[in-house]
């Protein structure tokens, strides 16, 4: 049986610690502002200035030429380009927010406590491994999810304000895919990253070293972006739902594996 009062106690302690670290708060804020305001501005004004070519010139594709399911009728080239960027490029990139924020937090929470030696007193406290893992995983996940939701709200506001004239009104989010990405895929992806960090933290000597374990998760994001931009495939709603199901399965598997590995690694980190 999980004692939620103790889970909440560790979770709020971790949040308080995160909030006092300039590096952690700075990472979360910078990513939120970048994805919420800077990226939409680059896309919208880039499209306006270039007449629709928002991708680098070396790639011989105009985004507006890509097949866009559910694109509104009658859009001009610039609007089609903006629409394509927010439908094909930004959704996979959006996963970077919870991925980056949660991995920084998880590395600090798991490997950091081990590095600083404070994990020892938590292991000696009346707290089960499950409760401790749950508290720390949730403490790491929630800032990442909050940052991505904040960035999504900012992005919706900024994008609509900057491009309403092209679409004849507010148009973003462009489809239900966005809600699946923000509400389902990105938290599950962040949780996968946290589990990898926890696994790495059982052996890593520092929080930074543990953080590197999640770098591998950037590869699928890049593959999704370039695959779509270069016309190899288009990710639709059904693909996102399947991805969410696969991620949920992977998360469940790692939840079964990671805490045991981590706590075993921590308990036997030294022999006197």
Partner 1 sequence: MIEVSGLVKRYGSVTAIEGVTFSVGSGEVFGLLGPNGAGKTTTMRIICCVIPPDAGSVVVAGVDALRDPSRAKQSIGYLPEVPSVYSRLTVRENLEFFARLYGVPGGEAEPRVSRLLRFFSLEERADQLASRLSKGLRQRLAIARALVHDPPVLLLDEPTSGLDPISAREVRDLVVRVAREEGKTVLLSTHNLFEAEQVCDRVAIIRRTILAVGRPRELAERASIRVPVRVALANPSEGLVRVALSVQGVTSAKLESGELVAELEGDPDSVVPELSAALVAAGAKILSIRRTSSLEEAFISVVRGGPRVRSRSVGGGGRGPDVNTGTAEMSGEGVVRA
Provide the binding-site residues for partner 1, judged by CB under 8 A. 5-6, 9-10, 13, 16-17, 20-21, 116-118, 120-121, 123-128, 267-268, 270-272
Cβ 20 to partner 1 shortest distance, Å:
4
List alpha helices for the chain, DSSP H.
4-19, 22-33, 39-50, 77-84, 90-94, 96-106, 113-116, 119-123, 129-167, 176-180, 186-201, 207-211, 218-229, 237-267
Least distance in Å: CB of 109 to partner 1?
12
Is the CB of 8 or the CB of 153 nearer to partner 1? 8
Whether the ω angle into residue 173 lies within 30 degrees of 0, i.e. cis, is: yes
Work out how close the CB of 100 gets to partner 1 at its nearest, in angstroms, rounded to a whole number: 20
Toward partner 1, which CB reaches closer, 21 or 50? 21
Report d(CA 171, CA 250) in Å as an integer. 34
Q: Is 270 exposed, middle or buried, given 0-12, 13-18 or 19+ CB atoms closer than 10 A?
A: exposed
- Residue 201 CB, nearest distance to partner 1 (Å)? 17
Report the nearest approach of partner 1 to the CB of residue 126 (Å). 4
- For tokens 């199901």, the residue is 245
Nearer to partner 1, 127 or 234 (CB): 127
Please identify, using beta-carbon distances, which residue of 77 and 129 lies nearer to partner 1: 129
Q: What are 39's two structure tokens?
A: 């990226």
Q: Could you tell me if 42 and 70 are in contact, meaning their C-beta atoms sit under 8 angstroms apart? A: no
- State both tokens at 138: 């949730």
Closest CA to 256 of 210, 195, 207: 195
Query: Closer CB to partner 1, residue 6 or residue 239?
Result: 6
Is the preceding omega at residue 143 within 30 degrees of 0, hence cis? no
Closer by beta carbon to partner 1, 109 or else 159: 109
The least distance separating partner 1 from the CB of residue 103, rounded to whole angstroms, comes to 19
């Amino acid at each position: 049986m999980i004692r939620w009062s103790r889970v909440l106690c560790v979770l709020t302690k971790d949040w308080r610690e995160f909030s006092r670290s300039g590096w952690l708060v700075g990472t979360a804020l910078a990513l939120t502002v970048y994805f919420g305001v800077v990226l939409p501005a680059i896309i919208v004004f880039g499209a306006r200035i270039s007449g629709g070519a928002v991708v680098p010139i070396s790639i011989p594709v105009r985004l507006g030429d890509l097949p866009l399911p559910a694109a509104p009728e009658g859009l001009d080239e610039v609007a089609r380009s903006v629409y394509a960027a927010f439908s094909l490029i930004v959704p996979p990139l959006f996963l970077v927010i919870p991925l980056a924020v949660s991995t920084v937090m998880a590395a600090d929470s798991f490997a950091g406590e081990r590095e600083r030696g404070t994990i020892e007193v938590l292991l000696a406290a009346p707290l089960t491994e499950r409760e401790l893992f749950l508290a720390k995983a949730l403490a790491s996940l929630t800032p990442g999810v909050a940052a991505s939701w904040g960035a999504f709200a900012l992005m919706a506001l900024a994008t609509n304000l900057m491009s309403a004239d092209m679409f004849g009104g507010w148009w973003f989010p462009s489809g239900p895919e966005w809600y699946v990405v923000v509400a389902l895929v990105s938290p599950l992806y962040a949780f996968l990253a946290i589990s990898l960090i926890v696994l790495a933290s059982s052996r890593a000597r520092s929080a930074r070293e543990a953080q590197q374990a999640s770098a591998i998760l950037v590869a699928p994001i890049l593959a999704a972006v370039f695959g779509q931009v270069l016309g190899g495939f288009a990710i639709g709603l059904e693909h996102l739902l399947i991805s969410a199901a696969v991620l949920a399965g992977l998360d469940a598997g790692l939840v079964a594996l990671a805490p045991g590995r981590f706590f075993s690694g921590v308990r036997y980190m030294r022999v006197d």
